[in-house]
Every structure is written in structure tokens, then in C-alpha cells.
Amino acid sequence: MLADYAVRVENTRGRRHPEPPHPYRNDFQRDRDRVMHARAFRRLENKTQVFTEPISDHFRNRLTHTLEVSQISRTIAEQLGLNVDLAETLALVHDIGHPPFGHSGEKALDVAMRRHGLRFDHNLHALRIVEDFELRYAAFRGLNLTFEVREGIIKHSRDYSAEQHPELREYLLDQRPSLEAQLIDLTDEIAYNTADLDDGYEAGILNPAQICQSVPAFAEAYAAAEACHPEAIDKLKFNEALRRFFNLLVTDLINNTRARIAAAGINTLEDVRQAKERLAAFSPVVDAKRREAKQFLYDNLYDSPELKQDNLRAGSVVTELFDFWMERPDELPRTYQHKAEQEPLALIVCDYIAGMTDSFITEQHRRLVGGTNQKTV
């Protein structure tokens, strides 16, 4: 049963190119399947989450992270009476615009674009992917997703102004996104805050004592795990503590969002859109615990000496290839050369790089910058 404030698929604002209904899938289910079958989605398997050179097959990549966000989003959406199909689709598409090499690659690409008076924004790039780059259908370019999914791609993690982004005016920039979209940025945080603690522990960069010292919520969870399972090996105690911390975040997000909906007198989707602030949120107490974990990860994992060299190398690969193609656009694939006749070259180079996997960009860098130059086909 959907809550009155949920998005109803029968009330969708539709697709850019009208299509007949499918006999056994609703429009949001079709969007979910189109995202999962997209080439850009498959490429997430070879894009960095945290470790650019994983030393274990068990570390997350962008694809496995995305699947974890999808699972969390479905669970929370169902508990809140939201449209699970829409929430799942938005979770699956939320990272599709990320470039190779994780945050290092994204930062390097943005710095390169700024030198040309532009910016790189993975949400805007994701919209370009689903609107233009994916070529699967004879009748139109892109995936022809519903308005609600395209709006959620843009608005799930931040607000855009029509003055700065007039090209986005159609996405109701003066209104709040749906609750299904609002959830995604928060479920993303739950997924990576807990998963990155796990991968950091597996990599030997983090240890339970270190985490407990800086993240009191994890320390409480670890103490409870030790009390319940005193004979368990350290890894299983860690797993149990992480599970408890994970459940704390998920449960709080459900309960606090439900309370905020009630306190704001939200009864309809229009109420959600006209609300003074976003309604999906952690409680202040648990949000402080989330921020402690996030800061710990920045201080001890993302910016750690163990990852610093890899991150610097990744940024250099992106920067050097960007500069190479800006100086020698004739080395771009022919389709991108044609695109550069209609749009700024820097944007086209950015599009090309952002779509690459870690292994492909590394090979391109070796061949074009560090090795013999051969024409790209």
C-alpha cells in the first residue's frame, strides 16, 4: 500500500517520447530495467569506489556499491509507504555519471574543466548519459526515462537554481524532490560509511581499536558485539559491530523521516514538493554519529598515506589525458570529433573521459601519453 504522499506510477508526467504501455511492467519498472541493461551501468563494475588498485576481490566497486544502495533504498521506501520501484531505479542510476578512479578522478576532471570556464558535475553528466549517450532504441536517443526518474537524477543530492542552470527548468527546481528521490543521498551515505569501514578493515588500513576511539557509535556497537559473542574471532566481532551500526542508521532514518512527515502535516505528494525543507533526514543525534564516521573515514582512509600515491596517480592520468585531447582533438574517436563541432571541445573531452572505466583510461594513458601514439578508432 502506497502512502498518500508517495509517487504513483499512474500519475507519471511521462516520457519525452510517448510509448505504448508494457503488458506486464509499469513505467518505473521499465525504467529500472533500462538502467540495468545500459552500457554505462555495466561499466560501473570497473570503476573505483575507494581502492583504485584493489588488493582483494572482495572490495566494493561502483557497481557493488550501487547494488547495496538499491537494497537499502528498497527496504526504507517500503517501510515509509513510498514507491519502491521508483526508489530502486533512482538508487541504481545514482552513480552512473561518476568518472573513473572515484573521487580522485572526479576532482581532477572538475579542475581540468574549470580551466576552461566549465565544471564537472556527476549528476548533470548522468542526465547526459540517459538522455543522449545511451543508444539502444531506433525511435529516440537515450533511454527515454520517465520525468520522475530524470528529476530524481538531478535533485536527489542537491538543489539547482534555474538562474544558474536554465537548461534544467523543466525539473521543478523551485520545488522539493519526491521522498523517493530524497532518500537516495542518505542511503548512499549509509552504504559507503559502513562499507568503507569494512573495506578499510579488510585492507589492513583500519582496525577496530582505531575506529572505536574516534567513532563512539561504533565503539558502543563493538562493546555489545563482544558482550554477546565473547568467543568469536575478531573479524566476526567487527562484522557484528558494523551490522549494529548499520541498523542504527537505517532504523533512525526510517523513524525520523516518518516523524518529520507527520510533524510537517504532509498528506500528499504536493505537500512534499512544497515543504520548507527536505523531509528525509536522520535525527540530530544519529546524524552527529554519521558525521563522526564520515570524518573518520576522510582522516584515516580516503586521505591515508596508503591511498595517497594511488589517488595522485589517478588524478594525473585524468589530467594528462584531458590535456592531450584538448591539444590533439583529432585523436578523439570520430563520433566525439563530430560532437565537438556542435559543443565546446572541453565538454566533449570530459564526456569521453567520464565514461571510461579504470582499466580503459589506464590503457589509453599508457598508449597515448606514456607510450606510442596510435589513432583511436
Residues 6+ apart with CB under 8 A from 360: 46, 100
List the one residue out of 1, 197, 163, 156 whose CA is nearest residue 82. 1
Amino acid, single-letter form, for residue 335:
T
In this prediction, residue 377 carries a pLDDT of: 33
pLDDT for 374 equals: 41
d(Cα 98, Cα 35) in Å, to the nearest integer?
Answer: 15
Q: Closest Cα to residue 280, out of 264, 256, 304, 301?
A: 256
DSSP single-letter state for residue 178: P
pLDDT, position 56 = 72
Residue 376: per-residue pLDDT = 40
Return the closest-CA partner of residue 46 out of 91, 8, 102.
102
Residue 158's Cβ-count burial label (10 Å; 0-12, 13-18, 19+) is exposed
Angle, CA of 266, 271 and 272, to the nearest 5°:
85
Dihedral in degrees, nearest 10, Cα atoms 95, 101, 102, 107 = -110
CB within 8 Å of 179: residues ≥ 6 apart? 5, 6, 80, 82, 257, 261, 272, 279, 280
| d(C-alpha 357, C-alpha 101), whole Å | 8
Q: Is 124 exposed, middle or buried (0-12, 13-18, 19+ CB in 10 A)?
A: middle
Sequence ranges of the domains in the chain? 9-195+285-306
User: Spelled out in words, what is the top-level CATH class assigned to the domain 9-195+285-306?
Assistant: mainly alpha
Predicted pLDDT at 306: 87
Render each residue's pLDDT in the chain as its tens digit; 377 residues: 899 999 999 999 999 999 999 999 999 999 999 999 999 999 999 998 888 776 677 889 999 999 999 999 999 999 999 999 999 999 999 999 999 998 999 999 999 999 999 999 999 999 999 999 999 999 999 999 999 999 999 999 999 999 999 999 999 999 999 999 999 999 999 999 999 999 999 999 999 999 999 999 999 999 999 999 999 999 999 999 999 999 999 999 999 999 999 999 999 999 999 999 999 999 999 999 999 999 999 999 999 998 889 999 999 999 999 999 999 999 999 999 999 999 999 999 999 999 999 999 999 999 999 854 443 43
Nearest to 91 by CA among 105, 107, 78: 78
* CB of 92 closer than 8 Å to CB of 32: yes
Beta bridge partners of 61: 48
Find all residues with CB under 8 Å of 194, minimum gap 6, and list them.
Answer: 242, 245, 246, 249
